Amino acid sequence: MGDRVTISRHTLQDKSSHLDVFFENSTDSLTTYEIFTPKSILLFSEILICNKKHDHRKIYLDYEGEISNNRGSIEVVWKGIYRNKKSIGQNKISIFILDETLFIVE
């Protein structure tokens, strides 16, 4: 445990969307970042910049569907494992996805 990661598309009520990346860790919550990419499209083979958000509940590692309190919906777009964990928790990180592994660029 502790090295799974999920990238999900969060679509808001106004139909705008963004990508969130949820990192499993040794706590009771997921370290969460928002990925900055045009039109909420996951780009492979490119370095992506991510800004830290508040931690999310562990359910979001696998959850797809409506989010309570009219906060839109969420769908998983990629799952894998992650490497280079020492940067997790910083306000901004850069990531690179290769097949089923997400690398944090240090």
SS (H, E, C) 2-42: CCEEEEEEEECCCCCEEEEEEECCCCCEEEEEEEECHHHCC
pLDDT digits (tens, 9 = 90+) for 94-106: 999 999 999 999 7
Bridge-partner residues for 104, per DSSP?
95
Neighbours of 92 (CB within 10 A): 11
pLDDT digits (tens, 9 = 90+) for 51-76: 999 999 999 999 999 999 999 999 99
| Predicted TM-score of the model (pTM) | 0.92
In this prediction, residue 39 has a pLDDT band, given cuts at 50, 70 and 90, of confident
